[in-house]
Chains A and B, each alone.
Chain A
Amino acid sequence: MAQTSTPSDMTDENKPIIEIRNFDFAYGDAQALFDINMDIREKEVTSFIGPSGCGKSTFLRCFNRMNDLIDIANIKGGEIKISDINIYDKEVDVIELRKHVGMVFQKSNPFPKSIYDNIAYGLRIQGIKQKSVLDGVVEECLRGAALWDEVKDRLNESALGMSGGQQQRLCIARALAVKPKILLMDEPCSALDPIATAKVEELIHQLKKQYTIIIVTHSMQQAARVSDKTAFFYLGKLIEFGKTDDIFMNPTDPQTEAYISGRFG
């Protein structure tokens, strides 16, 4: 019942937007990801679960090459293709890639600027300065992140005056401003209270109509609630990947079963 991702499974579904093949990743000598194969489909929410330190964040940060910032990080083998392009190819411009693949971090990190400037940041650094364009994008993104009604009267106030949940949604809105196709979220709700978490989940549910979303979460309930597909990682290996329903109701791997039922270790 549970479906593992092999190319033969592609039959009835749309073509994957991200294809990961035999991916190996290491920090210096310590290998962090082992031979990962996975297909992520367009306009689906895929969640990564697994115990702390199993490499979820590491894997997620491979999709927008955020790991390039770490000197000892190196790809030992395999490839990640986004829309059929190997993103670790020499031809690939990391900046373009990152515009295409947005990211939201565990700790919400609004810049200490006004709400407006936060959203406009992504466009301004591309040299877009016209007020009319920026105004439009700011409103569109804030609406997209279900934040417009809450903040429309204080766009010029500092983003740091917002509540934690609003800040995180601002970060999502900010990521939307550069018009990504894919959104990566690394434990976006880990610092939020239940209501704020619910709002972010609600937002994710809205956004999946337009974006492909990959979310790392340490809350299995969250994975169950928001995602269409779930991947379980353990010690840097992809143990099981399939429809969320199958993973949670009828996992094939005993390790997955043990983890999701809390009988781990």
Chain B
Amino acid sequence: MSEKPATNIFSKKPSRQALFETCVSTFFRLATYLVIIAAGYLFVNIAYNGSKAVFTTKAPFINIDFLTQKPQTLHVYEPKEVTTEQQKINAEILSTKAKRNALGSGEKAQRAEYEAHIESLEERYDILDEQRVEGRLMFSDSEYRQLDETPSEELFKYSNYAYSGGGIGPAIIGTCLLVTGSIAIALTLGVLCAVYLSEYSQPGKMLQLIRLSIMNLSGVPSIVFGLFGFGMFVLFFGWGVSMIAGWFTLAIMALPIIITASEESMRAIPKGFREGSLALGASKWTSIRTNVLPYALPGILTSSIMGIARVAGETAPIMFTAAFALRDQLPWEGLKEPTDFFFQGVMALPYHIYVVSAKIPQNEYTRNMQYGAAFVFLFIVGFFALSSIILRVKIRKKYKW
């Protein structure tokens, strides 16, 4: 063996390989940043615009009315003088642009003149716009009714927007009710089903088929669930458009997630716990109840509540089954019998956002309501997700292995 010179055998060697490595890692990094930017933009946008509706500058800094009041029609009066002026300017801008576009390529001087004109018109338009915002009057339904006298038709141009005034109180309450109810139903059904599948069923073709169909269920579009719920609960069971129909529709939609997650959690429990308790003379159910479910619970709860939170964001399933565009009573108001509570439609945030945005998505006057509702909705979903995580940490601390 020849003596090797005493160089560092691990020294870095610049090579194409190294360059390639750098490129690849940069590429991956960029892709990740893109995702983060998209997500960040989404949240910041909703938070920024939404907080305009939800927060106020005066103490208590939260717009209580928005959070508690019922949705109302928004009545808008704008100074007629200004709006007609704006319309005129708009028309002129358009005609000038048309003229400019008709010019040949040689007429440079003429083109510059037109462009200067358009610019000045646009400036004027912006100034007028500020005047319009200053001079406009907006009333929600209740305010509108209290007016002694509506602003004169001569001075103001009147328009109204359904559901865009007032607050989103009933929608918040409705959403919370829908979520809790469907969590209860979905968890019960899902855990029962998962216990059966993972602990009792005989492995074989049949079980695989069942698992496969449960998996496929989670791929079904939500509108199909909506239609199914409508056909099954609303029409066939005759429950009408009601909270309970919504509960079951949402629950069934969340079931695949819950069953899969619960089964996964239960299968993660070491076999030793089951065998250990069976060997001590526990029956199968005792063993599952005392030595499988408690330890699987953190996993079941987290993934289930996450699943529900996801499902609760869907508009389609509740659109036909549970949600009203507007309901002027809160769920506990005006019940003839206690059971009626379950058989009433409710308002829900996702559907409300849909209703408000459906017709004129970017309308200046409905924007506030759209973003405000979206912001609150994000908050509620976040709250459920967070509570599931806290719950998990708590239980996990109790049972750790």
Q: Could you tell me which A residues sit within 8 Å of B by CB distance?
A: 64, 66, 69, 71, 95-96, 98-99, 102-103, 105, 107, 109-113, 121-122, 125-126, 158, 160, 171, 174-175, 177-178
B contact residues, range: 20 to 34
Interchain CB contact (< 8 A) of A171 among B276, B282, B400, B401: B276
A selection of 25 A-B contacts at a CB cut-off of 8 Å is A64-B279, A66-B279, A71-B202, A95-B282, A96-B281, A98-B279, A103-B279, A105-B275, A105-B276, A107-B272, A109-B270, A109-B273, A109-B276, A111-B291, A112-B399, A122-B280, A125-B281, A125-B286, A126-B281, A160-B400, A171-B276, A174-B280, A175-B279, A175-B280, A178-B280
Chain A residues, Cβ within 8 Å of B280: 98-99, 102, 121-122, 125, 174-175, 177-178
* Chain B interface (Cβ < 8 Å from any Cβ of A): 202-203, 270, 272-273, 275-283, 286, 290-291, 295, 399-401
Does B272 lie within 8 Å of A105, measured CB to CB? yes
- Per the bound structure, the CA–CA distance linking A178 and B279 in Å amounts to 10
- Chain B residues positioned under 8 Å from A95 (CB to CB): 281-283
Shortest CB-to-CB span from B254 to chain A, Å, is 29
Q: Which of A66, A99, A158, A177 contacts B275 (CB 8 A)?
A: A66
B277/A111 in contact, CB under 8 A:
yes
Tell me whether A112 and B275 are in contact in the complex, defined as CB-CB below 8 angstroms, given that A71-B202, A121-B280 are known contacts.
no
Q: B295 to A112, Cβ gap below 8 A? A: yes
B401 to chain A, nearest CB (A): 4
Give the CA-CA distance A32 to B399 in the complex, in Å.
38
Provide the bound-state CA to CA distance between A178 and B281, in Å.
8
Instruction: Specify which chain A residues have a CB less than 8 angstroms from the CB of B203 in the assembled complex.
Output: 71
Nearest Cβ on chain A to B378's Cβ, whole angstroms: 36
Known: A71-B203, A111-B291, A122-B280. 11 other contacts (CB 8 A): A64-B279, A66-B278, A69-B278, A95-B281, A95-B282, A98-B278, A103-B279, A111-B273, A113-B399, A125-B286, A175-B280
Q: Which residues of B contact A105 (CB under 8 A)?
A: 272, 275-276, 279
Residues in chain B near residue A107, CB distance under 8 A: 272
Residue in A71, A113, A125 whose CB lies within 8 Å of B282? A125
Interface centre among B270, B279, B291, B401 (most CB of A within 10 A): B279
Q: Which residues of A contact B278 (CB under 8 A)?
A: 66, 69, 98
